[in-house]
Amino acid sequence: MTLTEDRSAPTTFNEARRAMIVSQLRTSAINEPWVLTAMASVAREDYVPAELKAAAYIDRAVPLGEGRFLAAPLFYGAALTEADPSQAKAILLVGEPNGYFAALLRTLVASFDAITPAEALTEGKGGYDLILVDGAAEELPAALVARLEEGGRIVTGEIVRGVSRLAVGCKIADQVALLPVSEMGIPAVPEFAAPKRWSF
């Protein structure tokens, strides 16, 4: 009985991963072979709590605890497509250094740096020509923008008036202006919330 269970679980997850590619990514125009290969090779179930493994491949965010979430597969597929990390010289990932997004990147590039959102609020190493944010920001921290080199790109979730969307930006004259790519559900990064402002 135990052997049967051990053999069936990986098959179930493999089938779920294939279904993710076909029904979530391809139907949303995520068709780059290198993106699909990366997402087919990384087991999402390894990055969620044990009791939520069966929900690892659903088309929405999965709670990880302590206010953190694993975003839906579409976010990662779209973010990687926009980023095209193999073209970058120096990459910074803002997210869990041992999380799912990091695992995807490891299949695509030889090296990258990773910091937590809390670390992104402080000054640190700069010179990155690509920054990826695992989640959605109401406001990008100045310390994070400072890490991006002039002309460098950032791919991030963005929250505008309560609506999240994938956005890309380029640093020009020390400023980053984000352009929306598509609306989608993306978990907020609590550290990147906008300061509360008075309204009348």
- What is the reported pLDDT for 77? 98
Longest dimension (CA), the chain: 65
- What is the reported pLDDT for 40? 97
| Domain coverage including residue 62 | 2-190
For 12-43, the pLDDT digits (tens) are 899 999 999 999 999 999 999 999 999 999 99
Q: Is 40 contained in some domain? A: yes
Q: Kindly give the parts of the chain with pLDDT less than 50.
A: 1-10
- What is the reported pLDDT for 8? 43
- What is the reported pLDDT for 197? 64
Q: Residue 125 phi/psi, 5° resolution?
A: -55, 140
- Asked if 99 and 47 count as a contact pair (C-beta separation under 8 A), the reply is yes
Q: Is 195 contained in some domain? A: no
- Asked if 170 and 151 count as a contact pair (C-beta separation under 8 A), the reply is yes
Pairing of strands 128-137, 91-94: parallel
Q: Is 199 contained in some domain? A: no
Find the CATH number of the domain harbouring 81. Answer: 3.40.50.150
Which H or E run includes 38?
helix 33-41
Amino acid in position 193: A
Compute how many other C-beta atoms are within 10 angstroms of the C-beta atom of residue 70: 25
Q: Residue 12 phi/psi, 5° resolution?
A: -60, -45
Q: Where are the alpha helices (DSSP H) in 42-150?
A: 73-83, 100-106, 142-147
For 94-110, the pLDDT digits (tens) are 999 999 999 999 999 99
Q: Is 151 contained in some domain? A: yes
Amino acid in position 140: L
pTM for the complete prediction? Answer: 0.91
Cα separations (Å) of 81 from 31, 141, 163?
9, 24, 21
- What is the reported pLDDT for 195? 82
Q: Is 21 contained in some domain? A: yes
- Asked if 39 and 77 count as a contact pair (C-beta separation under 8 A), the reply is yes
Q: Is 74 contained in some domain? A: yes
Count Cα atoms within 13 angstroms, Cβ side, for 165: 13
Q: Is 110 contained in some domain? A: yes
Q: Is 95 contained in some domain? A: yes
- Asked if 82 and 60 count as a contact pair (C-beta separation under 8 A), the reply is no
Structurally, the chain folds into a number of domains equal to 1
